[in-house]
Structure 1
């Protein structure tokens, strides 16, 4: 995960997330992220691994 061109670029490999079965890339524009309550990064994939529907970022990283 890195900041890139107006948002967050995220690459997940199998084992990084319970739903991920192959390498996936996601882009979350700035302003779409949600503050994380536990200080960690989290991504929600629903209904399939190709669909990112929420991304949590530590408050200091926003």
Structure 2
């Protein structure tokens, strides 16, 4: 009986979702590969982001993201940016630190 109950719980349990930032912000499944300790998505410091007329420039160095080992500069048009509803900036790098997959930004007036 316990085995049947356990199997029912496992079958009915919602599938695992993409990992979350420490703030509780959930990354989209497409963007996320891993978990909040080893994954490629995480919050990045506000000082690394510059808003431009064309979108955003993200300048990262070691320590700004767990995967970054050297300086990187990424440009994002406003159309490419995903919405961050926790007021923070987040970046997903996949499959390596040279490849930005998703960038999340809060509303410009936030």
TM-score range, shorter chain: 0.7 to 0.9
Length-normalised TM-score, structure 2: 0.52
**More displaced, 3-12 or 25-34?**
3-12
Greater radius of gyration (CA): 2
* Aligned-CA RMSD value: 1.3
Matched, 1:23 2:71: yes
Output the CA distance in 2 between the equivalents of 1:36 and 1:13: 22
- Runs of at least 4 residues of structure 1 off by over 2 A? none
Is the strand fraction higher in 1 or 2?
Answer: 1
CA distance in 2, matches of 1:34, 1:5: 17
Any stretches of 5+ residues in structure 2 without a counterpart? 1-48
In proportion to residue count, which structure has more helix? Answer: 2
Unaligned runs of 5+ in 1: none
